[in-house]
Amino acid sequence: MNKPIVTDVIFLRQKADITTENDTNVIRDLEDTLAANRERCVGMAANMIGYKKRTVIVSMGFMNLIMNNPVILSKSGEYETEEGCLSLIGTRKTKRYKEIEVEYKDKNFKQQKQKFSGFPAQIVQHEMDHLEGIII
Ligand SMILES: [Zn+2]
């Protein structure tokens, strides 16, 4: 289901809870809502559509990547950048890392470990911040 984007910062500042295999509706709604916002959005966290769950979706161009309960294992190459967010107005400065390695459970809850660099790495970091209640 295409869900409305949450802009309430009090809700967005709450830390999300572990996603389980019972939360397939969260995954489906993230896919539908990202598809509906395709031209203005490259990624989304579950709390942006009203679920306090640790799931993010990242557009990788040719496909969308679902990450449940992601954890950053390593990061390198700190830099400063400016980002926007569908839940907020305007852009804000933030610190990111050029390369990260992340452990997560995929759409089928299979454990995965993956390295990201450049723009995809930036999106993953932005969406993972949402899970901690951190907004740029
Ligand atoms: Zn955001």
pLDDT by position in tens, the chain (length 136): 999 999 999 999 999 999 999 999 999 999 999 999 988 899 999 999 999 999 999 998 889 999 999 999 999 999 999 999 999 988 999 999 999 999 999 999 999 999 999 999 999 999 999 999 999 8
Give the per-residue pLDDT at 136: 86
Pair 116, 99: CB distance under 8 Å: yes
Tokens 């907004």, residue located: 135
HSE value, Cβ hemisphere, 13 Å, CA-based, for 107: 12
Q: How far is the CA of 87 from the centre of ligand 1 (A)?
A: 6
Pair 100, 122: CB distance under 8 Å: no
Q: How far is the CA of 126 from the centre of ligand 1 (A)?
A: 6
Q: Residues in the chain, how many?
A: 136
Q: Coil, strand, or helix at residue 123? A: helix
Give the per-residue pLDDT at 132: 97
This prediction has a pTM of: 0.95
The two tokens of residue 65 are 């990547």
Give the per-residue pLDDT at 61: 83
Q: How far is the CA of 123 from the centre of ligand 1 (A)?
A: 9
Q: How far is the CA of 82 from the centre of ligand 1 (A)?
A: 12
Give the per-residue pLDDT at 33: 97
Q: At a CB cut-off of 8 Å and minimum separation 6, what does 46 contact?
A: 16, 19, 26, 30, 52, 53, 54, 55, 56, 131
Tell me, rounded to whole angstroms, the distance of Cα 65 from its chain centroid.
Answer: 10
**Cα 104 to Cα 100: distance, rounded to the nearest angstrom:** 13
Give the per-residue pLDDT at 62: 84
Give the per-residue pLDDT at 57: 98
Question: Which sequence positions are flagged as catalytic?
Answer: 127
Give the per-residue pLDDT at 65: 97
Q: How far is the CA of 71 from the centre of ligand 1 (A)?
A: 18
**Cα 104 to Cα 29: distance, rounded to the nearest angstrom:** 19
